[in-house]
Structures are given as structure tokens and as C-alpha cells.
A and B are shown apart, each in its own frame.
Chain A
Amino acid sequence: MESLGNKLSTLLAIAWLLPLFGFVVEVFAMSWPNANRKSKAAAYFAIFCIGFGFVCSSIAFYEWGEGTDWAAFKAVDHGHSEVANAAEHGEHAATGHDDHEHKAATHETPKRTVFSGTFYNLAQFGNLKLSLDYYIDSLTLAMFVMVTLIATCIHIFATGYMAEELVDDYVDHQVHTHDGGHFHRPGRFYKFFSYMSLFCFAMLGLVLAGNIFQVFIFWELVGICSYLLIGFYVERHSASTAANKAFIVNRVGDFGFIIGLMILWTSFGTFSFDDQHEVDGNVNKVTAGLFTMVRGHDGHLDRSSDGQTVLLKNEQDVNGEWHVRKESDPGRKTITYTLLIVAGLGVFGGCVGKSAQFPLQTWLPDAMEGPTPVSALVHSATMVAAGVYLAGRFYPMFVPEVLLTIAYVGCITAFVGATIAIVATDIKKVLAYSTISQLGYMMLGLGVGGWGAGLFHLVTHACFKSLMFLCSGSVIAGCHHEQEMTKMGGLLRKMPITALTMLVGVMAIAGLAIPGTSIAFSGYHSKDAILATALAYTKLNPIHFLLFLVPLLTAGITSFYMFRLWFYTFLGKPRDQHLHEHVHESPWEMTGPLLLLAVLAAGCAIGGEDGKLFKMLTFSEPVGVGQGVDGAAAHTVSLPGHAAIHASHSTAGSAALLAAFIGMSISYLVYGKGVINPADIKRQAASVHAFLANKWGFDDLYDVMFVKPAHVVAKFAAAIDKFVFDEILHTFVRMGIAVSKWDRKFDEGVIDGIVNLMGNSTYSLGISLRNVQTGKIRQYVTFIAVSVVTLFVLLFALYPKG
């Protein structure tokens, strides 16, 4: 196991660090003065780095599978059969399903394998150790393979998409200069790929991180990459504003994250996820990590008798199990329950910002100002999903109250995003809102206790959403940077590959399947998993029935607006004949990745919850999730266990499929067939349309609530600065100037006079010395004799006479 851990950490470290190397090389190659801006070398190098990363990740995945004897794929089978056996024996029939699952999870399932360790110690301040750790389980591996694969596809796509930057003089038609012309600048092909490489490095570092502080470092690093990439066309006002907005809104979430970090550090004294092994001399010292302290080996939260304090398990017994220390022990650690909630909410605050959850969702649609490959990689598949990933990674630290918050936030986000997407007409904006909505789904899934379901949806969504973004990129490139769907239409014949791959993506996100068979698109499986969990949850906690109904409705809406996008763009008559004539299918380096991603989008989740992907993910499920939580005793919500969820599957699945078909049908009637004129609906529900088109008024609200007041305060501060502090400074400066004027006179008159006099005199002496060098050889030879005699006479004169 030791050697497998080393092997995995080495492979993943290579995959992680290669893009950094690529970034450094590309940046330096870029600043070389003779760099050829027309060369695609930077792109090829970036592709090599991330592609090699994919190879390493795949090998790591394979090694891990071999090393654990593919236990992940067998384990769940095994577990299920055991559940069945237990039910047959009827030994625990009285205690209900939850208890069966408990047994199965704790005794029959092979222990999940986590490899953790330290790459490098950054610094140690007292007890505070900051280090670069790794934490490798099946989730890490799945994320690595997913990120590197999608990133490779997108990099290849981008070599075609960004090809117009391969010029010495790029004309940005969207930036107007004062004289009415367009802005000219050198092409930035190199720069794009160097940023992309940096992003890949940061994202992989985030996934590999073994402690929450390291996560934070890379969290910020992906943030800055996102900032750089959104603002790639920095001369465009909209792009630079969007970049600022994204960054600032994320800071709000990160504020919560930092609060969470502070609480964790003060209460736990460590940032590490897993237990830390330290060899001190001959003694092998083990310190408990965050997860161990809170959950121990069985996932149970130890609370004091009044329920106000959580007791932390930081003492290891001889069997290797962790216990709470005795009350008299000075090493005993506790944390108040409220504080644990605040810490969880704080960290989740970071996730809200990064994953564009309500109420911080406003930055993501604006982020579409970046080049489309960026939207595909950063703002749909990877970075925004990092919030969900962190929520999943940090799951053991969340108490039921926090999970409830997560569920509601996700639920609201899913609904809000989906409704706005109905009225959006910019093809990328529709996708952006759909991303927000789907991220809401994932959060909801995690919040209602479906750890596997949420992350399952993360992976499937990454596949089909990056596919759709790349398709939209292909459409945009084909339509010469026209993004408004109102000007498209009838593109199916012009760009068949793009249209058909897009259709695969649309069907996947809508969650279509053939009823009665197991043939379904990936989105169906993952959405079904979430809805099933939500249904099981509402059965346990009937008061939260909205957590099932709203997502179900949203599933219908999703299907509606996604098909609306497809019908609008690819079917019907061309709305802009001039544009239509110039449309062309994209080159192979753009369509190739589309085809590959289409296969993934359709089939990555084959088998659903019995499929390999889901089993692999749930292999890393935190202990205690499987059996659920009965919250009745503690007056909190209850969480469904695996069995309860399993029972809800057929209902939830049928409902979701029905919703999806209804959404698709309406969409077909309105936009495909034209039975109902959308303009009529728009007119009749004008106020609703305006409300939605105004994005529920969030931007206006924030403008009034935060931006305007901030401006007022800023103006006030600026005025104080200008009229009070600057005046004082100016007075000093004026005094200084007066003094230096006098000083200058002295300097110029006296000091310079002396220096110049000396300089001039030495210079003229030097010039006059030239005259000695006459160039006449007769004179030179005479000088030899004269000099010898003179020197001798001098010596004679000065030498002691004796």
C-alpha cells in the first residue's frame, strides 16, 4: 500500500506540475523579443503538457484499480448482495432498512483507501504547519482523469478557435477607438495558452490538495486564472468589467472561506484532511486530521449531553481507532456546535462564490465575455465545479443544519438559473444560466444527503456542458462572432457535426431516456440520482417538500430551454440571410474534440447507479453517509440512507423523465413546429418576461445595495483625500520646492562651478597632451635618449648622496 501511495502521488504530481512547467516556458517564450506570433508552438506545448497529464492520470487510475484489486467496482455489488442476504435472514427486520445498511457499510464493505502525505513543508509557525499535501482517493482520481481529459479536448479545440490571434496585428472589432477606427494590438495566442496551462496547474492542485489551506491557495489561483481569462480581451470594456465582477464577487464568498479557516485552525489546530504521520526519531507520531476528529471511524458525531458542544476525537488507541480524550486530559479538544455550523457555512460560502450559487450567481453570465474555450473549461466543467467538489470533499465537516442550507441554496439556484435561461437569447448566456442551474442541482444533491449523486452529476455535467460550450464556440466561430440566437436558425445543414453533437449534449442535459429500458443519456442517470435522494429526503422530512418539487419542475424547464436553444439555432429558417450565407463548418481540430466529448456526454454514466462511474465515486463516500442520519432525537433534519434512496428510484426517475418529455414537447411545439408564436406569449406575460430578462433583478438590487453605496463612500473618501490630506502634502511639497530652488542656485553657482572648472581644466590638459604625440618617429627616438638621461638625472638628484 505504501508503494502504491508513492506511485500514485508521483504520477499525479507529474500531471499536476507539467502544466506549471508549460506555463513558465510559454510565458518566457512569449517575452522573447524575436518570438514568432504566428507560431502554434505554444499551443502544441500546452497540449503536450495537459495531454501527458491525462496519460499520467489514467495510469494512476489503472494502478489504483490494480492495487486495490478493483475493489471499488466489486465492493458495491458485494454490499448490495449482503443487504439482500441480511434482508432475507430477517435478523434485523425490526430495526428497519437503515440498520441493514449500517451493517453492510461498516462490516462488509472493504475499507475505503485514502493515500495521503506531504510533498513539501512550506512553513511552520508554532503549531501552524503549512504544507503541500496530497489526499488521493477515488474522487481525486476521477476528478484528475475528468479534468485532464476535458482540458485536453478543449486545448485542441482552442488551437482552431484562437487561430485568429496568430497575427502580428490583431484588429479587435468590438473595441472602438476615439477616431472611429478599431483597436489594433499584437495577437495573444501565446498568452491564451500560458493562462490555460496555469489554470490547469491550479485546478489540479486544488483537487490534489491534502489540507484545507492548500485548497484555499489553489482556490485563489484558479480565481486569478479565471480573472485573467475572462479579461482576455481586456480592451473591451465589457470584458474587463466582467473580470472585475467575477473576482470581486468571489472575494465575498472567500471572505466566508477565510472565517471558516480561522475557526478550523483555532478549534482543531490543523488544516489537514487526513491523519498526519510524522516520524520523530524512532517514534511514529500520528496526529488526527480534521475528518477523524469530527467523525472518528464510524462517522458518528460525539456531542456533550446538552448537545451544545462537539467532542473531538484526537486520541488513538492500540487498535488504531480514535476516541475523545478524558475530561481531565489537557489534550482534550472541543468545539461548540454553533461554531462548527459557522465554520461549515463559512467554507460553504466560498463554494457559493466559486460555484455561482444564489445569491452570488451574478458573475457567471458576465464571465461569458471570455473566449469560448475558457467558458467551456473554466466556467462550466472545472473551476465552477470546484465549489461542489469542495463541498463534497469537506462533507464530513458539515452538520445537518449546514446541509439543509446547502440544499436550499442549491434548490433556489437551480430554479432561478433555469427560469432566466428561458428568456436569454445569447447562446452562451443560455448555457451560462443552465450551468448555474445544474450547479444548483449538484449542491442540492449534496445537501439532501446524496453525496454520490451530487458528485456523479458533477462529472456527467462536466462532460455534456463542456461539449455544449464547445459546440456553441463552433457556432460562434462559424457565424463570425455572432452570439445572438435571434440572428441564427437553420444551421443544421451548414454545420451538421456541430448540430448533431450539440443535440447529444442537449438530450444529455435534459435527461432523456427510453422508458422501460436501461438506455439513457448520462444526464438522466445523475439527475435521477439527485431526485431520488431528494424524494427520499422529503419522505423523511415532509416539511421540506419543496426540495423535491422545485427540482422536478426545474428538470422540465431545463429540458424546455435547452431544446429551445437547439431549435432556435439549428432548425427553422435562417433569420439573418447575410449571416447564413457565410456560415461554415469548423475545421477538424474543433470538430474532433466535439465528437469525442459527445461520446462521453452520452455514455459516461452507463449503468447509472450500478455503473462503474458511480461505484467508483461512492467508493470514497465518507463513512456514515450510507446509513443515513436519524435527526428526530436531536431535533434536526434526518438524512436518507442508501436503502431509502434506492426505494425512491423508480418514482423519481419516472417523474423526472416525464418532466423532461413535457419540456421537450412544449419546446418543440413553440420553437420547432411553430404552433404557438413565442412573441404572443412574450406579449401576454410581458411583466414576467421583463422580470426574467432582468435576471430577477439581482444585478439592480446589488447595484443599489452595494455598488452605489460603495461609490458614495469612495467619493467621500476621495474628497477627504483630495481636499484635506493632499492639501497638507502639497504644503509640504511647496516648502520643499522653495528650499530646493535655493539649493539649486547654490548647486549650480558654487558646486557645479567648481566641478566644471576641474573637469574643464583636466579635459583641456588631456587635449593638450595630444600635441606631445606628434607622430614623427625621429622625435620619438630622440625622446628615448632624452628620457633615459632625464630619469637618470632625477635619480641622481634625489638619491641619497651617501
Chain B
Amino acid sequence: MNEIGLLVQRLLDETTKTSVGLFVPELVLSGTIVAMLLCRILPLLWRVPAQWIALLGAFTAFAWTLCQFDQLVGGTLHATPIFTGLLMFDQFATFFRMFLCLFLILTITLTVLSGIPDREDAPDFYTLLLGATLGMMIMASANHLLMVFLGVEMASVPSYAMVGFLKGRKKSSEAALKYVVYGAGAAGVMLYGISLLAGLTGTGSLPEIGHRLSLIVSQGAGISDPIVRTIVLASLMVLVGLAFKLSVFPFHFWCPDVFEGAAAEVAGFLSVASKAGAFALLVRFGLAFSGGSAAVSEIAFALGIGIGVLAAATATFGNLSAYGQTNIKRMLAYSTIAHAGYMLMAVSALMVMKFSKHGGAESTAVTLSCIEGLIYYLFVYLFMNLGAFAIVALVRNQIFSEEIEDYNGLATQCPLLCFGMALCIFSLIGLPPMGGFFAKLVIFASVFKATSVHWAMWFVLGAGAINTVFGLFYYIRILKAMYLKPRPDGARKVSYDLMPVGLFVLMICLPTLGLGVLPARFAETFNNVASVLLTGR
């Protein structure tokens, strides 16, 4: 009894003294959700607009994470596992939480400007939006297999509802249904993988997995060994769950249908935020194999090569499928698939370098640049993809269409929006001096370093290079429609206010250029995040 009391006492101490303090941003978001729902219930508070509450909450959370990040870099706070090791509080997690909060602010601003949702539905919508973000933040800091699953589900379930938010539209409901069913299937597979892994190792804590696995895998065991076979299968199944979130080929089928059915704002949110969370989780899961014996490293190495091949296939498939699309949201959906492919290449290079037999100082440097490239890419991707979706949403409000041919000659009517779109597209293609170019450059450079370890990486690198060319064709179609085609007679006129709308568009589109012109400013921070994650320094 005494011992249990002591245990409870310790648990309480750990929770209240450290964990809760570091968990404040998530708590703020939760509180904001509660506040919005309260406003809904109390007739007195009906008049308080939900978006301002949501925005306030998002800002607070962002400011808090920013402070935390600043303190981590400054050395006042230290990386530590929290909630008895369920979550990890470190620079990597905090960076992603900050990133997600920033993105949340931008998305809420966009929805305020574009007018989706209406007043009646606003509390519901923002509840879902904040809830999904909360899940993604947990994904980013997950340190336990349990939290991996919980995070993915917490991010997914509100997303399903958001996709079906345009209630009257058949396409929307259909998309939501597809998303739910597909998500359920993927979650099932993932859960199976998690239980296998937990059963094998007897723990769910990610940092311990590598060590535990090396206890059961004998040296030199191949795939014919049942334990190795199970480990591979289990890891594969966990990866399937993440691949669903990342819309990696061949688990991407939901993506085009869902993006086409969902509102552009939601599609923009899903394309960036849920990918960011999933990538953070993927990196953590991949690094879970470290600290084990050579045999475990070999498994991880093989998984890394497999991820690389999938990345190449995803990028190619995404780009090629985009060719025939006439709906701009569907085209952008395929474009997000392709970009997931590029970013996956960075993860592949990371795992290959990290778990190769010939490790050393140089390979550590390369792994650093892998993470750095991934973060850089995500950061650029936030602006360029959100920018593209935002402009689609803003234009949709005026011409009630998302077909590319209805964009003909828009440049004459809304030069600023088209200029923003052009910036985003140049960055998506990866033309210098846009941010997209430098992000791709960093990733390709690390893949190139990885080619010295395994020949298959040449294939990945080649696929990446050729896909850059593939991408050019279909992106340019949008610009061609906007700038070179004449505006047909009788087409709806597009007008927009310079003040909030134009400013917002510039605010999210110009960073794509800024990140390209001044890469050094950001690279330092990203490098810092990467080095703390990999080397603890």
C-alpha cells in the first residue's frame, strides 16, 4: 500500500511539476475548444464570434510554443520525456508544435477571409480544426506506440468531419465517407502492426524499441528467421498507417477524391498540417530503431531503402496523374502526393545513412542535413501549398468554379492573386530563387550523399530529378490559363479588396521567395533542431 502510494505520489509530482507546464499549448487549445462550445450553449454568449476565440487560442498557443522553443535553444529548458515517457518534449517536437500553431493561425485567418464556415457552423468547424491540430501536435511529440496511434486517430477523426463539412454537397459527403472508411482500414492495419511490435518487445516506449529488439534478434539472422519476419511485417504495418496520412503510393487513393470533395481551405489544411505531423512521427518511428545491435540496424536499413523506393514511386505517380486533371483542387491533390514523395526521400536518406554499416562523422553530418532538408521543405511547403489553396478558395468565392479552364485570363482582373499564385507555383516547381528550389536542393544533396551507401539511392535520386521536370508541365498549365489565355466574354468578374485579402495573399506568398533568397537565416535554426534530435546536442 505504501509503495503504491509512493508511486502515485511520484506520478502526481511528475505530472504536475513538469509535464503539465510543458503541455500548456495543447491545454490552451483544449480550453479554447471548451470555450467555443460554452459560447454555443449559453445564449448570452451567442454573439461572440467563434473565429475570434479560435484565433485568440491559436495565437496564445503559438506564442507559448515560440517561448518554449526560444528557451530550448537558449538552454533554459531542457529536452525531457513527459507524462511518464508517453510524450517527448524536445526541440524537434516543439518546432513542429510551433509550426502547426502558426499554420493554424493562417488557416483560421483564411477561413475568416473566405467566409467558410458560416456563422451558424463556425463553432463546430473551429472545434474540429483545433481538435485536429491538437492531434497533430501529439503526433509530433509522440514517444510511445500508444501515443502514435492515439495521435493519428485524434488528427484523423476531426479531419473526416471537416471534409464532409459542406453538408449540402453530395461530393463532399461522399469524400468524407471514403476518407472514413479508408482511414479505418489503414488504422486497423496500423494497430495490428503496433500490437505485434509491442508484443515482441514488451514495451511501447519508442526509445527502448531498438534496445529490446536487439535482445531478440540474433546476429546475422535473415528474413527466414521468424522473428525478423515478424518485425519487418510489424514495422511495415505501422508504416502503412503513416503512409495513409502522408498519402504515399499505394495508400494515396483517398487523397484526390477527398481533396476534390472538401472545401479548398480544408484541403489546404489537411495537405500541410497532417503531413507535417505525420512526417514528425515517421522520423521518430524511424529513429526508434537506433541504439540496437547491428542486426536491428540492418532491418531499419532495409526499411529505409523500401521507403526510398516508395518515395520515388509516389513522386512519379503523383506528378504523372496530375497531367490529365481539369479540376484545380484535384490537380493540387496529386501535387501534394508528389511533394510527399520528395519529402519521403529525405526520410529514406536519413534511415539509410543512420543505419548503414559504415557509420561515422560524415554520415552523422548527412543525417543532419536530411532532417534539415525535411524541415526546410515542410516550412516552404506550408507557405506555397497554403498559398495555392488559399487563392483557389478566394477565386472560388467569386467565380464559383474550381475548373482550370475557368481561370482563363484571370491575370487581367486580379493581378495580385495571380501574382501570388505564380509565386507559389514557381516554388512548387522548384525554380530558383524560390524557397522550393533550395528545399529540393538540400534533400537531393543528402540523397546524393546516400548513394555512396547503397546503389538503390541512385534510383531514388534519378526519380527525384526527372520528377522535377514532370512537375513543370502541369503546373505551368495553371499559369498559362491565367496569364496567356484571354478572359472569355461574359465570364464572372473577380474583384477583391486590397486591404485584408491582398495583404494576406502577399503575406503567405512572399515567404516562398524570402525562404529562397535568404536561406541562411532559417537554415541555422533548422540545423539546430536537427542536431538536437540526432545527437542530443
Within residues 751 to 774 of chain A, which ones have a CB less than 8 A from any CB in chain B? Answer: 759, 762-763, 765-767, 769-770, 772-773
Instruction: Using known A-B contacts A763-B323, A795-B236, determine if residue A802 contacts B229 with beta carbons closer than 8 Å.
Output: no
A794 CA to B319 CA, complexed, in Å: 24
A783-802, CB under 8 A of B: which get 1 and which 0?
11101100110111011111
Q: In angstroms, how far is the closest chain A Cβ from the Cβ of B54?
A: 32
In the complex, which residues 172-226 of chain B have their Cβ closer than 8 Å to any Cβ of chain A?
Answer: 177-178, 181-182, 185-186, 189, 220-225
Inter-chain contacts of B181 with A (CB < 8 A): 777, 780-781
A-B contact pairs, 16 of them (CB 8 A): A762-B323, A763-B473, A766-B324, A773-B253, A773-B256, A775-B257, A781-B182, A784-B182, A785-B185, A787-B251, A791-B236, A792-B236, A795-B306, A798-B302, A802-B222, A802-B223
How distant is the Cα of A184 from the Cα of B225 in the complex, in angstroms? Answer: 90
User: Do B221 and A783 have beta carbons less than 8 Å apart?
Assistant: no
Residues of A within 8 Å of B221, CB to CB, are 802
How far apart are the CA atoms of A796 and B222 in the complex, in Å?
A: 10
Which residue of the partner chain A has the closest CB to B184? A781
Chain B 246-258, CB-CB to A under 8 Å as 1, else 0, gives 0000110110110
Contact B237 A796 (CB under 8 A): no
Report the Cα distance A444→B185, complex, angstroms.
Answer: 104
Chain B residue at smallest Cβ distance from A779: B253
B493 to chain A, nearest CB (A): 16
Q: Which residues of A contact B220 (CB under 8 A)?
A: 802
Chain A residues, Cβ within 8 Å of B229: 796
Name the residue in B222, B228, B233, B320 with the highest tally of chain A Cβ atoms < 10 Å from its Cβ. Answer: B320
Q: Which residues of A contact B83 (CB under 8 A)?
A: none
Chain A CB within 10 Å, residue with most, of B181, B229, B250: B250
* B521 → chain A closest CB, angstroms: 30
A788 to B240, Cβ gap below 8 A? yes
Say whether, besides A773-B253, A784-B251, A800 and B222 are in contact (CB < 8 Å): yes
Complexed CA–CA distance, A772 and B257 (Å): 12
Partner of B182, one of A770, A780, A794, A798: A780
- Kindly state the interface size class of chain B when it binds its partner: 35 or more
Which residues of chain B come closer than 8 Å to A770, judged between CB atoms? 321, 324-325
Determine the chain B residues whose CB is within 8 A of the CB of A798 once the complex forms. Answer: 302
B232 at interface (Cβ–Cβ under 8 A)? yes
> Distance (Å) between the CB of A801 and the closest chain B CB?
4
B99 on the interface (CB 8 Å rule)?
A: no
Q: Are B189 and A788 closer than 8 Å at their CB atoms?
A: yes
Q: Known interface pairs A800-B223, A801-B224. Does A767 touch B256 (Cβ–Cβ under 8 Å)?
A: no
A785 cross-chain contacts in B, Cβ below 8 A: 185
The verdict on B448 contacting chain A, using a C-beta distance below 8 Å, is no
Question: What chain A residues lie within 8 Å of B185 (beta carbons)?
Answer: 781, 784-785
| Shortest Cβ gap from B438 to chain A (Å) | 26
Interface of B is mostly: helix
Cα distance A391–B92 in the bound complex, in angstroms: 75
Whether B317 sits at the interface, judged by CB under 8 Å, is: yes
Given A802-B221, A802-B228, is A787 in contact with B323 using a C-beta cutoff of 8 Å?
no
Q: How far is the CA of A762 from the CA of B306 in the complex (A)?
A: 25
Cα A796 to Cα B319 with chains together (Å): 29
* Given A780-B253, A795-B236, A802-B220: A766 in contact with B302 (beta carbons within 8 A): no
Q: Is the CB of A799 within 8 A of B324?
A: no
Given the complex, which residues of B lie within 8 Å of A792, measured CB to CB? 232-233, 236
**With A783-B250, A801-B223, A802-B222 in contact, is A777–B302 under 8 Å at CB?**
no
Does the CB pair B253–A788 fall under 8 Å? no
Count: A-B pairs, CB below 8 Å: 87
Cα(A770)–Cα(B233), bound, Å: 30
Q: Let me know if B23 is at the binding interface, CB within 8 A.
A: no
Is A801 within 8 A of B222, CB to CB? yes
CA distance A781 to B177 in the complex (A): 12
Q: Which of B473-525 contact A (CB under 8 A)?
A: 473
- Once the chains bind, are A783 and B232 in contact (CB under 8 Å)? no
Q: Given A800-B223, A801-B224, A802-B222, check contact A773 B186 (CB 8 Å).
A: no
- Within the assembled complex, what's the spacing in Å between the Cα atoms of A178 and B182? 73
Q: Is B470 an interface residue (CB 8 A)?
A: yes
> A766-B324, A769-B320 provided; 17 other pairs, C-beta below 8 A?
A763-B473, A773-B257, A777-B177, A780-B178, A781-B185, A784-B182, A784-B185, A784-B186, A784-B240, A787-B251, A788-B189, A788-B237, A788-B240, A792-B233, A795-B232, A795-B236, A795-B306
Closest beta carbon of chain B to A499's beta carbon, Å: 51
Q: Write out the residue numbers on chain A whose beta carbons fall within 8 Å of the beta carbon of B417.
A: none
User: Which of B236, B317, B319, B323 touches A767 (beta carbons < 8 Å)?
Assistant: B323
Task: Considering the complex, give the chain A residue whose CB is closest to the CB of B177.
Answer: A777
Compute how far the CA of A334 lies from the CA of B304 in the bound complex, rounded to whole angstroms.
Answer: 86
- For the complex, give the distance between the alpha carbons of A765 and B254 in Å: 21
In the assembled complex, the CB of B468 is this many whole angstroms from the nearest CB of chain A, namely 13
Q: Which positions 383-416 of chain A face chain B at CB distance < 8 Å?
A: none
A597 CB to nearest B CB, Å: 44
Separation of A337 and B349 alpha carbons in the complex (Å) = 84
Bound Cα distance A791, B307 (Å): 11
* Residue B463 CB within 8 A of the other chain: no
Q: Which residues of B contact A791 (CB under 8 A)?
A: 236, 306
* CB atoms of A766 and B321 under 8 A apart: yes
The docked-state distance in angstroms from the alpha carbon of A769 to that of B223 is 33
Q: Counting CB contacts under 8 A, is B82 at the interface?
A: no
A-B complex: 9 closest residue pairs judged by Cβ atoms: A802-B222, A766-B323, A766-B320, A799-B223, A801-B222, A787-B250, A780-B253, A767-B324, A769-B321
Chain B residue with minimal CB distance to A775?
B257
Nearest chain B CB to A781 CB, angstrom units: 5
Q: Are B222 and A783 in contact (CB under 8 A)?
A: no
Q: Which residues of B contact A762 (CB under 8 A)?
A: 320, 323, 470
Q: Which residues does chain B contribute within 8 Å of A781, judged by CB atoms?
A: 181-182, 185
Q: List B contacts of A799 (CB < 8 A).
A: 222-223, 232, 302
Closest to B319 in A: A766
Choice from A775, A780, A784 contacting B189 with Cβ under 8 Å: A784
The CA-CA distance from A97 to B229 in the complex, in Å, is: 124
| Interface presence of B347 (CB below 8 A) | no
Give the shortest distance, in Å, between A728 (CB) and chain B (any CB).
40
Which of B232, B240, B317, B473 interacts with A769 by CB under 8 Å?
A: B317
Q: Is B322 an interface residue (CB 8 A)?
A: yes
Chain A residue at minimal CB-CB distance from B223: A799
B319: A residues at CB distance < 8 A: 766
The 0/1 profile, CB within 8 Å of A marked 1, for residues 312-333 of chain B is: 0000010111111100000000
Residues on the A chain within 8 Å of B470, using CB: 762
Choose among A769, A772, A775, A798 the residue with the greatest number of B CB atoms under 10 Å from its CB: A769
Residue of B nearest to A773 (CB): B256
A773 CA to B182 CA, complexed, in Å: 14
Give the distance to chain A from B477, nearest Cβ to Cβ, in Å: 12
Tell me if A766 and B254 are in contact (CB < 8 A): no
**How far, in whole Å, are A796 and B177 apart by their CA atoms in the complex?**
34
Asked whether, in the complex, the Cβ of A788 is within 8 Å of the Cβ of B223, the reply is no
Max chain B C-beta neighbours (<10 A), residue from A765, A773, A777, A787 = A777
A800 and B219 CA atoms in complex are apart in Å by 13
For the complex, give the distance between the alpha carbons of A777 and B7 in Å: 49
Smallest CB gap from B254: residue in A = A780
Which of B185, B237, B253, B320 is the most central at the interface, judged by chain A CB atoms within 10 Å of its CB?
B253
Minimum CB–CB distance from B406 to chain A (whole Å) comes to 20
Taking the closest CB of chain B, its distance from the CB of A343, in whole angstroms, is: 52
A772 to B321, CA, bound (A): 9
Shortest CB-to-CB span from A163 to chain B, Å, is 30
0 or 1 for each of A168-209: is its CB under 8 Å from B? (1 = yes): 000000000000000000000000000000000000000000
Distance in angstroms from A139 CB to nearest chain B CB is 50
Residues of B close to A767: CB separation below 8 A: 323-324
Report the Cα distance A769→B250, complex, angstroms.
Answer: 12
Contact residues in A for B322 (Cβ distance below 8 Å): 766
In the bound complex, CA of A792 to CA of B238 (Å): 13
Assess the B178–A777 pair: CB atoms within 8 A: yes
* Contact between chains at B302 and A795 (CB < 8 Å): yes
Chain B nearest CB, measured from A711 CB (Å): 47
8 Å CB interface, B279-318 against A: 298, 302, 306, 317
